[in-house]
Structure 1
Amino acid sequence: MNTIVAFILMFGLLVFVHEFGHFIVAKKTGMLVREFAIGFGPKIFSIKRAETLYTIRILPMGGYVRVAGEDPEIVELKPGQHIGLKYNKQGQVNKIIVNNKDKHPTAEVIEVEQADLTHQLQIKGMLIGEEEVKVYQIAVDADYVMNESETRIAPFDRQFAAKTKLQRSAQLFAGPLMNFILTALLFFALAAFSGIPVEDARLGEIAPNSPAEQAGLQPGDQITQIDQVEINSWLDFQRYVSERPNQELTINYLRDGEADKLTIVPTSEQLDDSEVGRIGVRQYMERSVTRAIPYSLTQTYEWSKLILVNLGMLVTGQFSVDMLSGPVGIYDFTDQVVQTGFWNFVQWTAALSVNLGIINLLPLPALDGGRLLFVGIEAIRGKPISPEKEGLVHFVGFALLMLLMVIVTWNDIQRLFL
């Protein structure tokens, strides 16, 4: 149960932060945000505030911010269609009743002759039973009412396409950027509260009943030599011990400035196809708020570089698709991490966050990077690619991504259960 809760909270946080980046920049640049969704599929919770519907959906594998103009408009008024109109105090139409007009007896019913709800914000039509064509002015904050659900109209200046290339790029980039910021914040918390691993061979936590405890080693001891071999770093110490399972080692160390030595025999532990030596110690962790800031930035950079290197190996064929993990594999690894402690879970969440940020910046259809690519092409061409063509590319790209997700998930299931 702990793993299920941790997995949902982790994915919820990653998706919320990502989509909040898109959401807040869209709002700040005047775009109309129709929906802020966490998850996909049927709604399990929804609430509407002002012009935006906030939803939680049943499949916690992503989310989206639906901005006006990114998709075809929800309602298109056609000549001959009968609609109901309600007005605000200024005499402008603020409710367009698309169906169920009998539930709105105070609405004025007209027959549409022509409608422009994007630029001119006007409807031309005539009252039922009359022949005089009138022009009805639409308020900029008018709502469609369909099946008793209200949806704000989208004047062109509130649509994604109406904004400058810089504003559109900022809105698309804001999601991945928020994932990088979250990664840095998580590494900062990790460093400030759990500690920063020091590079020298200083001992941290000693496991109970371990060879280290039985030999007399204590937290804070500084290892200087093993078998008269100089030890200058934690990596040197770790490598020397792991290569000598079941062998007696003479360890020289400093404790409170005084030198001493002792003997110890590492236990043998099976790792992959080989045996490694273990004495039951952890690396010393230094808690420092001032050092936590550069540490968080450095770790974000290092993890980003590692992910980019692995993506390069995937492109060149050095890394197989069979080695990728989907939701099932991530859940399984989350289960393992949760059992090792809270701060390891925080580090795992940080790694997934930067991964999500980088993946979304790849110039692939349906991803933020693919949509940024279209904005770049528009800047070079001097005119946008037609929405129909761009929409088709993103649709095909999304279908291929879903196919890849199915393949990766199947591989996960085979590794775990077959």
Structure 2
Amino acid sequence: MIHNPGFLLTILAFVAVIGPLVFVHELGHYLVGRWCGVKAEAFSIGFGPEIAAWVDRRGTRWRLAALPLGGYVRFKGDMNAASQTDPKWLEMSAQDRAESFPAKPLWQRAAIVAAGPAINFLFAILILAAFAFLHGESRTPAVAGMVQPGSAAAMAGIQPGDRIVSLNGRAMSTFDDIRLYAQIRPGEPVTILLDRKGQVIEKRGHVGAVSEDDGFGNKFRIGRLGIAPGEPVIEPVSLLRAPVVAIERTGQIIRIMVETLGQVIGGDRSVKELGGPLKIAQVSGQAATLGLESFIFFIALISINLGFINLLPIPMLDGGHLLFYGVEAVQRRPVSPQVQDWAYRSGLALLMTVMLLVTFNDLSSFGLWERLSGLIG
């Protein structure tokens, strides 16, 4: 029987997930910035009051702060932790300007900003490559070994032995492709192209919707076609091929993130499904109880998530900075300070709104509001 982790394990697991990933993310910015000759004035893990700090021989202040929900590298010429350019950088001496962030060529600034998300993806790819090398790659054919009576597949006319060629035009190479495609589309219409003994047949139906429990009391509504694979096929993965498999899996995870985010924006998926730091903490503790491999795999997923979120074109995030640099490349001059200031304020307001929303969702998933209403009643 699976038991929920205690409070202490949940906190320790959360710190063990977020702390290293934030460090890795900021280390990407720091290393590429140093390579480009930019001086880092501060490297912070966490926000808020300083718990501990030390200054290295290059003058960088390495600090650990009280709120471990992020971090930042403040380069010379930055006005704040959001890397807004300090207008006073032009008043610096020639030597100081030479090692300031705003003075660097556009491509170097873009490389420094992109390095954070990039190293998060690389970190996850290394973990997934190790798993692929150790456990092999699932290459089970996209063939219905069994069709559950009354399921979405049965109602669509799928029979045992049918090979699923595509779902809504997307090619299905393995059975995992079918599972990943269906699970985020409960109840959605689907056009199924299948191969039955050499004959290509088109079927139409809907993805089934089922409610599943993860063993910790968390219920999820996910999509199911209602077919089971035949004999599982696990192919060994060489050391040279392992990174390729890892990159493919990372791409699959990012595609799922993009599609589910699009469903939320489009109204096809409830915003109540969005989780925040409290939910991550809860799942971190749960993953820790399932063993070291499950916990490490969870870290890889969060690392990909962190890289993906930071690339969203929202001011205050790395993607927002890259958007400004893209505009600068097109118009051959930086975005005006007034526009940047307005964008950063809007981005901060958006991020704060999202944080409040996901925190509300997290507390709702913990049943807080029901317990409060019961006390009031």
Do Structure 1 and Structure 2 share a fold, with TM-score over 0.5?
yes
The match for 1:162 among 96, 99, 103 is: 103
Partner of 2:216: none
Q: How do 1:387-406 and structure 2 match up within 5 A? A: 387-406=337-356
SS at match of 2:53: strand
Supply the distance in 1 between the matched residues of 2:14 and 2:75 (Cα, whole angstroms): 28
Q: Deviations over 1:360-393 (max 9, x none)?
A: 1111111111111111212222221233541342
Q: Letter of the 1:118 partner, please give it.
A: M
Q: Among residues 13, 16, 27, which one is paired with 1:20 in the alignment?
A: 27
Contact 2:121 2:307 in 1 (8 A): yes
Q: Residues 315-368 of structure 1: CA distance to partner in whole angstroms, max 9, x if unpaired?
A: 222223221000111111222222222212222111111111111111111111
Greater strand proportion: 1
TM-score, normalising length from structure 1?
0.61
Q: Quick one: which of 266, 271, 290 aligns to 1:316?
A: 266
1:230 deviates by: 5.8
User: What are the equivalent positions in structure 2 for 1:7-406 lying under 5 Å apart?
Assistant: 7-49=14-56, 50-71=58-79, 118-119=92-93, 140=95, 155-197=96-138, 199=140, 286=236, 288-406=238-356
Note closer, same or farther for the CA distance 1:197–1:335 as it changes in structure 2 (3 Å cut): farther
- Give distance in 2, aligned partners of 1:55 and 1:32: 16
CA shift in 2, pair 1:74/1:360, >3 Å:
closer
Residue 22 of structure 1 deviates from its aligned partner by 0.7
* Identity level (%): 36
Q: Name the aligned partner's letter for residue 67 of structure 2.
A: L
Unaligned runs of 5+ in 2: 1-7, 143-159, 164-172, 180-210, 214-218, 369-377
Cα deviations across residues 130-172 of structure 1 (Å, max 9, x unaligned)? xxxxxxxxxx4xxxxxxxxxxxxxx222222111111111011
The structure with more helix, counted as a fraction of residues: 2
Relative contact order: is structure 1 or structure 2 higher (C-alpha 8 Å, sep ≥ 6)?
2
Partner SS for 1:58:
strand
How far the C-alpha of 1:15 sits from its partner, in A, is 0.7
Aligned to 2:168: none
SS at match of 1:55: strand
The structural deviation recorded for 1:416 is 0.6
5+ residue gaps, structure 1, are 78-115, 121-139, 141-154, 202-228, 240-268
* CA separation of 1:76 and 1:169: change in aligned 2, threshold 3 A: closer
Change (3 A) 1:187 1:234: same
Cα 1:388–1:27 change in 2 (3 A) is: farther
State the SS of the aligned residue for 2:269: coil
SS at match of 1:318: coil
What is the RMSD of the two structures over their aligned residues, measured on CA atoms? 3.7
Of 340-349 and 187-196, the range deviating more from structure 2:
187-196
State the one-letter code of the partner of 2:92. Answer: T
Looking at structure 2, the residues matched to 191 and 395 of structure 1 have their Cα atoms a distance apart, in angstroms, of: 43
Q: Please report how far the alpha carbon of residue 291 of structure 1 lies from its aligned counterpart in structure 2 after TM superposition.
A: 4.1
Q: What is the DSSP-based 3-state SS (H/G/I as helix, E as strand, rest coil) of the residue aligned with 2:290?
A: coil
Compute the TM-score of the two structures, normalised by the length of structure 2: 0.67
CA distance, structure 1, for counterparts of residue 161 and residue 255 of structure 2: 32
Shift, 1:234, TM fit: 9.6
**Shift in Å, 1:55:** 0.7
